[in-house]
Structure 1
Amino acid sequence: MPRVRKGAARRKAHKRVQKGVKGHRSAAGRLHRLAKEANVRKEVNARVGRKLKKRDYRGLWIIRINAACRERGIRYSQFINGLKKANIEVNRKMLSEIAIADPKGFDTIVEQVKAAL
């Protein structure tokens, strides 16, 4: 009986790898072994990017809050300290949204913070 070579399964696996590296340049987009390695690196970098995105957004929110606080005569660090002392539990994302969309609401928060300090 002749031995079975896994032609269809291998072709399917190779196509799956090639689909994953679609758009890659040079050998990483064509040769199977290099494409497999490129696929692994792609997935690792995607995971790292998802973690970095969270860090970048937090930095953006802090910059926005700091700018809004400086307009109202208080530093960011003092503002955050005052929030803790005033027992105002609003996260930085919501604070930056309030600072942009509702300046009067942010003014009231700043007044409460200044009173707590």
Structure 2
Amino acid sequence: MPRVKRGTKRRAKRKRILERASGYYLTKSKLYRSAKEAVERGLKFAYSGRKQKKRQYRSLWIVRIGAAAKLNGLSYSRFISGL
């Protein structure tokens, strides 16, 4: 059976994690285990943040459209139902 060498894959994986963690504080950017945890946590927050951003923009649009509708003597709901 031939010998299996996994050094390059492991190095590439560690390098990818540490590159993503560059700019993090203290050991979170230096040590692989801490960096991995920090990167995973960051990705989790980034995922939920993308959803929150959509919600925030929707509420902002509703406020702006509602304000413009009020200037023309309409409520937001009447304006939307009239579209």
Superposition TM-score tier, normalisation by shorter sequence: 0.7 to 0.9
Between 1:42-51 and 1:5-14, the stretch displaced more is: 5-14
| Equivalent AA in structure 1 for residue 26 of structure 2 | S
- The residue aligned with 1:101 is none
1:13 equivalent to 2:13? Answer yes
Greater C-alpha Rg: 1
Provide the C-alpha distance between the structure 2 equivalents of 1:18 and 1:57, rounded to a whole number of angstroms: 33
| Equivalent AA in structure 2 for residue 66 of structure 1 | G
Seq. identity, %: 44
Aligned length: 81
- The residue aligned with 1:52 is 52
After superposing on structure 2, the runs of 4+ consecutive aligned residues of structure 1 that deviate more than 6 Å are: none
Q: Unpaired runs of 5+ in structure 2?
A: none
Q: Deviations over 1:48-101 (max 9, x none)?
A: 1111111111111101101101111222133234x2xxxx3xxxxxxxxxxxxx
What TM-score do you get using the length of structure 2 for normalisation?
A: 0.79
- The residue aligned with 2:61 is 61
- The residue aligned with 1:40 is 40
Provide the C-alpha distance between the structure 2 equivalents of 1:78 and 1:39, rounded to a whole number of angstroms: 46
What TM-score do you get using the length of structure 1 for normalisation?
A: 0.59
The structure whose RCO (Cα within 8 Å, separation 6+) is larger is 1
